[in-house]
Copies of this chain bind each other. A is one copy, B any other.
Amino acid sequence: MSFPFEYDTGAQLPFGGVLPHVATFDASKVVILPVPVDRTTSYVGGTRNGPREILVASSHMELWDEEVGADVHGVGMYTLPEMELPFGELPAVMDEIRRVAYEVIARDKFLITLGGEHSITPPLVAAAAQKFPNLSVLQIDAHADLRSTYMGTIHNHACAMRRVLDYASLTQVGIRSLSTEEAEAIPELNTNIFYDATMRRDPQWIDRVVDTLQDPVYITIDVDGMDPAIMPATGTPEPGGLSWYEMLALLKATLMRRRVVACDIVELSPLPGLVAPNFLCSKLIYKIITYRFAGR
Contacts and interface: CB of A to CB of B under 8 A. Distances in A.
A40 B269 CA distance: 11
A205 interface: no
B64 A228 contact: no
Given A66-B183, A197-B67, A239-B244, A3 B230 contact: no
B66 A180 contact: no
A192 to B, nearest CB: 14
Contacts of A13: 12-13
The complex is assembled from copies of this chain, and their number is 6
A276 B237 contact: yes
A195 to B, nearest CB: 5
Contact of A36 (B10, B64, B179): B10
Interface of A: 1, 3-5, 7-13, 18, 20, 25-26, 34, 36, 38-47, 52, 56-57, 59-64, 66-67, 69, 71, 80-89, 92, 96, 100, 103, 107, 117, 143, 151-153, 156-157, 175-180, 182-183, 195, 197-198, 227-230, 232, 234-240, 244-245, 248, 269, 271-276, 279-280, 283-284
A88 B269 contact: no
Contacts of A156: 41
Contacts of A3: 25, 80
12 contacts: A7-B83, A8-B84, A9-B84, A42-B269, A62-B177, A64-B180, A64-B182, A66-B175, A197-B248, A229-B229, A239-B244, A272-B274
Find the residue from A1, A47, A269 having the highest chain B CB count within 10 A: A1
A5 to B, nearest CB: 4
Contacts of A67: 195, 197-198
Contacts of A81: 1, 7, 9-12
Contacts of A176: 66
Contacts of A5: 100, 103
B197 A62 contact: no
A59 B11 CA distance: 19
A5 B67 CA distance: 37
Contact of A273 (B56, B92, B272, B280): B272
Nearest to A42: B235
Nearest to A157: B41
A217 to B, nearest CB: 23
